[in-house]
Structure 1
Amino acid sequence: MKTNSLLLVLFFASLFSCSSDPGKTGNAVETKDSISAKENFAKGQIIEKVVNLTDASQSAAIYLPSSYSTDKTYPVIYIFDAHAEATLPLSMYKELAEKYGYILIGSNNSKNGLSWEESLSIANKLFADAQQRISINTGRVYLLGFSGGARVANALCLSNGGIAGVICCGAASPAINPKDPRSDYTFLGICGNKDFNYIEMRKYDMVGLAGRAVKRAVLEFDGGHEWPPAEVMSDAFLWTELNAIRTKKAPANDSLVAVNISAMRKEISALQKEGEAYKVYNTVRRGINFFDGLTPLTEFYDIYNPLKSNAEVDKALKREEITWKKEDELKAYYRDAIQTKNSDWWKQDIASLNKKIKTGDPNEVRMQQRVMSYLSLLAYMQTTSMMQKNNFGAAKMFNDIYILVDPKNSEGYYLQAQIFAVQGKRKEVITALNSAIDNGFKDVTRLRSDNTFGSQLTDEEFKAVVKRAGEVK
């Protein structure tokens, strides 16, 4: 681990020894100091697999903006997905990369379940290969991750002075906690209000980074544990660009600031007319975090300062604190219940939770949705753990809970098919796989290469299932 950390530090030291001046006009910076000639990759389209020159088992998906030229350098965002599905975030955010002139590079190898040493090694090779082959502005290197990938991205950022900022989606706590974490970077958290890691994200912002000089903000969207939609990620790209302007790593852009702060003024005004004091408080606070040092913010502070002692805002903050405590207690309760309660109990309890979700007040509903999302993860982890231990009786019990809690998740039915296959229940396998497909399963490669299904791979009925999975859009 120490060797890998040293390699990464040396790598970023080499980046800065040959860094071009990021203070020129535009995000593309002219450079004549490249270590070696850069490769001419296709521009304006996703390249799904670029094999690493030093390790053929490693690869990346890349997106170069249409304006890309090897004669200039560009900001880069390295992306870490929880399941090594790099093309997913690239396809979601390529228009934003095009708008701002950013390079996107996603790892096809970094994923949940790897040790920190493995994750660090993957990152080392990804960074080194990209720097050798692509024209990157080494003063503007950013990391973006989702779920476990966010934890990896945050840990990398905390220990490396060569990374300007990190965007953490769906999780915040770093994969490791360096002894002396740096503070000269920017942190942006993005989380769905129904995400089981929502409280973690809020607490990391309010407590984990408290007392440190980290420029930070948190964005919330209406959703669960998932990559944020492009319209939310648009604010993340704006955040990154504004911070680069603020630190003189990008040229001033008065038009960009004016257009976006005008939009925020309109948003605040609309919330004020609706009497939404707490939403106004959060929006103004976000505006201050985004535009501080770039334009006068007297009008924002004139709104924000009185709201800090506003009774409605204080009540909302206290209500959140109570809700978070209740949610933590419920999660602890269910961690015990999943080991001790039978299937009949779970059916009744899940029915009760679903009823609360349909009839409760908005804050209570979102909390119950986060608890359900957490239960889905918990049941999934218990199922796969028992399968790895070849305890398929227990695996089936946990998998039944998984499907009960999360009936529209294709993974529950796929795991069910695997369990039935081990138990020699051919018809049940086909039924379970068809249920997985009905709920969105389309990974034909995984299905064909899954040794769990053994001789069934030649079965005509099984072939029909594979064909059907390939037709899912």
Structure 2
Amino acid sequence: MKRILLLLALGAMFIGSAQNITLKKGVVIDSLAVNDTIAETFSLYLPKKFDVSKAWPVMFVFDMDGRGRQALAMYGAAAEDQGYVLAASNNVSDTLSISENIVITSRMFNTVTTMLPIRKNGVYVSGFSAGGRFSTLIPTFIKGVEGVVACGATVANVEVLTSRNPFHFIGVVGDEDFSYSEMLMVEKILSRMKFPNQVLVFDGGHEWPKTTDLSEALKILTLAAMAKGNVPKDDAYVDANYRADFVKVNRLYAKNKPLLADDMLEEMLEIYQPYVSLDSIKASRKALRKSRLFKNQNRTQNALSLKESLIKEDYNYYLEEDILTYNYNNLGWWKYQMEELQKFQKNPDVLQQKMGKRLAGYVKALVSDDIDVLSAEDPIDGEALNFLWMLKTVIEPDNFESYLKIISYTAKTDDYGTALFYLEELLKKGYTNRSELYALENTALLRITPEFNELVEKYLKEARYSIIEE
């Protein structure tokens, strides 16, 4: 399909054989067709300064639930600040195979790069969590991807990487995120493989980075493009960002965050090496690392890192054993572990608090991953899944879905005592969806029992079936 792009006063008009759509600048445009023959759409964001007369870098952002508009909304301000076009598929999904998602991605790439004046060597990909992991696979299967910004996620498969096809990797992760430790390990692996890479650490958990962090990632990609000669060198841009980064380092140290300040100085050594003398950065880092504050926190962090890795090994070992043996008796041990993590999170020492949050997130992710794996098997091991749903009520006691799954499964196996126990636990937590409860799969016989309706009457004030006393 032939496409022509015209620049208007308020936006760009996309004229195709079957559509005539105005593409406004500075807003996310949703549901643009990939082509006339396939029911696939994407979202697009053009910066307010977008001009068809020059070439632009593009960041493709991935959300594995197909929420392209929401993904671009997270990136919009950063793209505006750094001058990037954004695009996101509405059809990639974690329910599809990698190959299917790659084909969808490739079609979107072709449409966007044909439709807009995209800079050569200016194609980048990004995403958060599952979207971030998927984005790290794209350069392996689609040529021409210059860099990846993975937020709250590490490289999906290090084994598929090759030094013959390197890309610039930027990891953006919170120091309370369960993927934080893995991100630091992947950074070392990529460095050994000669992949250009940086890890940007912010103060937070498993969440989308703030605009400032995303803007920092885009800035690094722009500086790298200048260093390669892909775009003209802008001395004023380099100087302004160099000075701004030093201000950020000083602010971090002033806020008693020397480890984050040191991380930033380390990345600055790589980022600005092509442009300036590194003496000031090296001197600042040397002075920081000699400070008592840094030495104390660094010593504590190293000890906690070892402790964290050992605890993770225990979690992995015992969870695997418990699943294989349907070890319901070990749910008490897991409850004790969650109580221990709560103690870490309430510890006066900030570094212990962060470790506790990382480990709590790690257990949740570990159990969720095992549930996904078992749910995809054929035949499904219902008993193993039931154990994991019970474990999920221990580690995420306010997750109503876990209780409903247990009630459904135990009713199916005629274990009404367990089903009623978890029903009451669910109602105690504040669950109020009566209609969903009475439509729950496999509970037809359970929900007409007096015990079931007595519990509903007790907590929700009204049962569907009357309770008759003889």
Q: What TM-score results when the alignment is normalised by the length of structure 2?
A: 0.73
Among 379, 385, 402, which residue is 1:395 paired with?
A: 385
AA partner of residue 280 (structure 2): E
Among 133, 146, 167, which residue is 1:164 paired with?
A: 146
Q: How many residue pairs were aligned? A: 410
Distance 1:243 1:160 in 2: 21
Q: 2:177, 2:205 within 8 Å by CA — same for their partners in 1?
A: yes
Per-residue CA deviations over 1:81-133 (Å, capped at 9, x if unaligned) read: 24333222211121222233211111223333543322322222221222233
* 2:341 equivalent to 1:353: yes
Among 72, 84, 87, which residue is 1:102 paired with?
A: 84
Q: 1:275 to 1:145 in 2, by over 3 A?
A: closer
Per-residue CA deviations over 1:189-216 (Å, capped at 9, x if unaligned) read: 11111222111110111x2113343332
Pairs within 5 Å for 1:333-412? 333-338=314-319, 339=322, 340=327, 341-359=329-347, 361-385=349-373, 392=382, 394-407=384-397, 412=399
- C-alpha displacement of 1:382: 3.8
* 2:178 equivalent to 1:196: yes
Residue 145 of structure 2 aligns to a residue whose secondary structure is coil
AA partner of residue 323 (structure 1): L
AA partner of residue 362 (structure 1): V
Q: 1:155 to 1:393 in 2, by over 3 A?
A: closer
* Identical residues among aligned pairs (%): 23
Which ranges of structure 2 fall in alignment gaps of 5 or more residues? Answer: 1-16, 445-455, 457-470
Find the counterpart in structure 1 of residue 169 from structure 2: 187
Among 147, 152, 155, which residue is 2:137 paired with?
A: 155
Q: 1:403 to 1:257 in 2, by over 3 A?
A: farther
Q: Which 10-residue stretch deviates more, 183-192 or 233-242?
A: 183-192
Residue 191 of structure 2 aligns to a residue whose secondary structure is coil
AA partner of residue 401 (structure 1): L
Q: 1:342 to 1:188 in 2, by over 3 A?
A: same
Q: What TM-score results when the alignment is normalised by the length of structure 1?
A: 0.73
Distance 1:180 1:300 in 2: 31
* 2:229 equivalent to 1:229: no
- C-alpha displacement of 1:149: 2.4
- C-alpha displacement of 1:402: 1.6
Q: 1:123 to 1:432 in 2, by over 3 A?
A: farther
Higher-Rg structure is: 2
Residue 136 of structure 2 aligns to a residue whose secondary structure is helix
- C-alpha displacement of 1:144: 0.8
Q: 1:210 to 1:71 in 2, by over 3 A?
A: closer
Q: 1:175 to 1:152 in 2, by over 3 A?
A: farther
Find the counterpart in structure 2 of residue 239 from structure 1: 220
Q: 1:434 to 1:175 in 2, by over 3 A?
A: farther
AA partner of residue 119 (structure 2): N
Q: 1:46, 1:91 within 8 Å by CA — same for their partners in 2?
A: yes
Distance 1:276 1:417 in 2: 43
Per-residue CA deviations over 1:11-49 (Å, capped at 9, x if unaligned) read: xxxxxxxxxxxxxxxxxxxxxxxxx9x975422221232
Distance 1:436 1:75 in 2: 49
Residue 42 of structure 1 aligns to a residue whose secondary structure is strand
Per-residue CA deviations over 1:372-424 (Å, capped at 9, x if unaligned) read: 1111122223445555655555534422322332345xxx3235435545648
Distance 2:428 2:34 in 1: 37
Per-residue CA deviations over 1:165-222 (Å, capped at 9, x if unaligned) read: 11111222234633633465322111111222111110111x2113343332111112
Residue 154 of structure 2 aligns to a residue whose secondary structure is coil
Q: 1:172, 1:200 within 8 Å by CA — same for their partners in 2?
A: yes
AA partner of residue 91 (structure 1): A
AA partner of residue 330 (structure 1): I
Find the counterpart in structure 2 of residue 468 from structure 1: none
Higher relative contact order, chain-length normalized (CA < 8 Å, sep 6+): 1
AA partner of residue 223 (structure 1): G
Q: 1:39, 1:134 within 8 Å by CA — same for their partners in 2?
A: no
Find the counterpart in structure 1 of residue 284 from structure 2: 303
Residue 104 of structure 1 aligns to a residue whose secondary structure is strand
* 2:109 equivalent to 1:127: yes
Q: Which 10-residue stretch deviates more, 428-437 or 244-253?
A: 428-437
Q: 1:384, 1:395 within 8 Å by CA — same for their partners in 2?
A: no
CA-atom RMSD in angstroms: 4.1
Distance 1:434 1:236 in 2: 45
Pairs within 5 Å for 1:270-349? 270=251, 278-304=259-285, 320-338=301-319, 339=322, 340=327, 341-349=329-337
Find the counterpart in structure 2 of residue 58 from structure 1: 40
Q: 1:196, 1:371 within 8 Å by CA — same for their partners in 2?
A: yes
